[in-house]
Amino acid sequence: MNKYEVISSPKRKRGIPGSLVLVLVFIIAFAAAGANIELRRSVEENESAVVLLLRFEGLAYQLSAFEWESISEGQISSEIVEGVQSTRDEMEQIMGELEQLYPNSENLRLVRQFYATYNSAITEEFKLITAGDLNQARLVDEQQVDPAFVVFIQALTSDRDAYSAKANQVENINSFGSLLVLSFTVAAITLLLLRFQKAQTAIEEAAAEQKALARHQEDFRLLNEMGNELRICPTVAESYTVIANYAQRLFPNVSGALYIINTVDGIFETVITWGETPPELPGRGLSPDKCLALRQGQIYTSEDSTSHGGLCPYLGQPKPEDYLCVPMLAQGKTLGILHLRRSKSLQTSELQSADAMVVLKRELSETVAEHIALAIANLKLQETLQYQVVRDPLTSLFNRRYMEETFKRELDRAARRKMDIGIMMLDIDNFKHFNDTFGHMAGDAVLIKLSSLLRAFVRGEDISCRYGGEEFLLILPEASLQNTHQRAGQLKNEIQCMSVNYQDQLLSGITVSIGIACFPEHGDTIESLLFAADSALYRAKNEGRNRLAIA
């Protein structure tokens, strides 16, 4: 008996049978795979919850827009009623889907509670508007609707962040589970004495799957980061830079462009491009009726060119071999197009890889387009609301509230620098008689035309606002009394030459009386300066109208 037999003999007596080891390996591998599938399902549920909450937040802002529009107009149109009902129905449907996913969620219970409070406040406000009690409606808006909306949005954001964090946490556990499945699979293959080449192939496939999973996790992380940065963008224009930055990270080896609709003429214009070979639209923009993606209302790729009769006419020459166009929709409206195409610098060996093929990024591109569309729609809504806060809705001039805030700042600056501020208060002569003769719509046309003239007349640092019904106020920083008087004369003459074409009728002979005051000669507070200018305006009226008067 040699030494190897002496050593190996006891081991065989104490060893576990090979078939039992194989069974145990398969049992453990099967259990790990089942756990992995359950983790994957949990990740998908959390990701679905995040997407549903994003849609729910967008609808909340849409409902807020309807509420703001109704209280601004002082009435509730049938379009607003239909829009509010449709939005509420869709929000209720989304909340139902979330509660099916998480029937015992305390966070969702709080979201529903805050949504019910906000919804109840809006309903009360709508009742007051319908009854014509606008003052009480605005009080309800300030004391109940706005605070309830803030709490509701905070609850939504907190809930969404919680689901995102949970998804990331489960993804990490899922990666460990995938590694465990891979380990036991390799062990089983080893015990079955498969050829080394076959085992190597299985390992490579598992590694590719892990790489795809890691890429998916990275994409999800980047989408969350992009969403967070877009949420804090103050304007739509600043969001475009954020979108270009994350598009290059989400789609490596890809060039692209973002086309956004111009609401004035309905033409899609290029707002941002990225990559080494970004596409350029021909002429001044893209007509929606000629874009194949928009005509179909769905994603369009280079693989669709044969079945749809050729490439999109807007792709330029030479035609890209690998591209896709994704329509961006939000709140039932088409906002733009996300276009992606393969970069030209890739080597021949890289052209068929998953990272290089643009058409393989279809699902990711649709998700990115949804995030971008929702973010842009929300930012546009915020800009619209901000515009309505400081602007007069008829004339688009600054309103009285904005004037008072800005005037105080200009007075402080002028006092520090020992500079003058000129003030003009204008009033259209005999405007009531004009309205009675031609109608209020004609009067509105005159106000709009005069406002346009004022915007063209003032300097960039000047402030023009609608002070009252037919009264306007101009604040001219660093303008002396003499300069203000000279400019007032020029303005009066320009207005006297102004004419308005209303319903094929030429309205002319429009004149204004102007009261002039100056800081610090006529006062050092808003109240004293406005009183001085108003008194001068009253004197100009009494002296025959269509003239200037200095305080």
Residue percentage of the chain with pLDDT more than 90: 14
State the pLDDT at residue 422: 94
Lowest-confidence segment of 120-124, 148-152, 438-442 by average pLDDT: 148-152
**Residue 418: count of CB within 10 angstroms of its CB:** 7
Residue 414 to residues 390, 481, 515, 521, Cα–Cα distance (Å)? 23, 14, 21, 13
The overall average pLDDT reported for the chain is 77
Which is more confidently placed, 541 or 183?
541
State the pLDDT at residue 8: 41
Per residue in 358-408, pLDDT (tens digit) is 777 878 888 888 888 888 888 878 767 766 667 788 888 888 888 888 888
Cβ atoms of 476 and 488 within 8 Å: the answer is no
Strand locations in 3-45 (E): none
State the pLDDT at residue 481: 93
Per residue in 511-551, pLDDT (tens digit) is 999 999 999 999 999 999 999 999 999 999 999 899 999 99
Distance CA 533, CA 551 (A): 6
Cβ atoms of 419 and 477 within 8 Å: the answer is yes
pTM above 0.75, yes or no: no
Lowest-confidence segment of 85-99, 194-208, 320-334, 390-404 by average pLDDT: 194-208
* Alpha helix positions (H), 391-478: 400-417, 431-438, 440-457
* Residue 47 bridge partners (DSSP): none
Question: What domains can be seen in the chain, in order of their start residue?
Answer: 17-193 (1.20.120.30), 249-381 (3.30.450.40), 400-550 (3.30.70.270)
Lowest-confidence segment of 192-196, 213-217, 448-452 by average pLDDT: 192-196
State the pLDDT at residue 145: 76
